[in-house]
Structure 1
Amino acid sequence: MKEVNLSISNSCGKVCKKIIEDELRKLAAVKSAKVYLDCKKILITYDDNLIELIAKEDY
């Protein structure tokens, strides 16, 4: 299992989403990564795994 550190700014959007996907591919060497942004959480799927990040504040 690889640990991926991501810092996400409060002004998140499509650009941020793309950056996260690109970083995930680079850091974790994954085949496919998808990021779904919700107001309180960020869902990241890569290969057959799902990561759910709960935001401390709205972004």
Structure 2
Amino acid sequence: MVVMGTDPKFKSAVRHVLGELVIGEDGFHYCRYIYWGMDEVSGQVQKEWGKYKRVCHVF
């Protein structure tokens, strides 16, 4: 088992050298990708809302 980040090139290199194995995500990278996804969705929603709704937090 190998615990590492999620870079596809690095994963490919590890699989090439070590063969088929279990690859686990480390907590830092897992949380970072969740944050990036939430940040992207937030940006899309802010573009759809007018400036008034974003500033006043009207739901």
Q: TM-score, normalised by structure 1?
A: 0.32
More strand as a share of residues: 1
More helix as a share of residues: 2
Bigger relative contact order, structure 1 or 2 (CA pairs below 8 A, ≥6 apart): 2
